[in-house]
Structure 1
Amino acid sequence: LKGITLEVESGQHVALVGHSGCGKSTLVGLLLRFYEQQSGKVLLDGTPVGDLNVEHLRNIVGVVSQEPALFADTVENNIRLGRADISQEEMEKCCTMANAHDFIMNLSQGYKTRIGEGGVQLSGGQKQRVAIARALARNP
């Protein structure tokens, strides 16, 4: 990455989009300290990310990868991985925000439907929406 400046205000949500190879994953990796920058600075609230607690840093950022990790369990339990104590009402709200609730309700057992290893019972877009709901459940 060269010449990147990005400022995000408190409470603002940001989605990184762009063509393949443009640096989206690199930017997230630098922010979350999966690796250190070679030059320049990565700051969060004016503090170098290298000075921040990694666990805290990763808890305040929600990331949904292009190929989300889903497990051979129910839709409900895959979302609970984001927050184990989430209520059904909160889960449905997150799923509605992620545009997942309607398709989940059309599954054979709704939220109790087992989706298979890697979510094989779901389309690519449905997997993404479940992963987005899981990230929203964490409330980063």
Structure 2
Amino acid sequence: MPDTQPAQGHCLCGKTSISVRKMQLDVGACHCRQCRRWTGGPLLVSGCGTDVTLAGSDYIGVFRSSDWAERGFCTACGSHLFYRLIESRQYFVPVGLLEDNPNLVLGHQVFIDEKPAFYAFANRTRDLTGAEAFAQFEADADSD
């Protein structure tokens, strides 16, 4: 089975849509404080690389949430559309935005050192601290 697949999705109201050429089937959970504040819980995303097409540009808002990343959202319904690294332009798309895919697997968690104690996933995953996640982002950018 391939590690990636194409995917399509749309926001809650349908005014924006997204098409990704290579959605990673290994879903990641981010427990950093910003993601938890943005989503109300952990952010569950698929890495989608840079080959991402968004439609409905009149309804897409972008918020620069740090020196290295920005977050996209639908200005009509508030749906989260993406987390994008500024330098590499790599997209991470919330899996709930995309059409259901039975091949997705929760494979890793990042910022595990910031995860609150009141929840835990049952899946066995590769767990990275914030420092380890940043090191991985840098390594991935260097290999492109």
Common fold: TM-score over 0.5: no
TM-score scaled by length of structure 2: 0.24
TM-score under structure 1 length normalisation: 0.25
More helix by share: 1
| Larger of the two Rg values belongs to structure | 1
Higher RCO structure (Cα 8 Å, ≥6 apart): 1
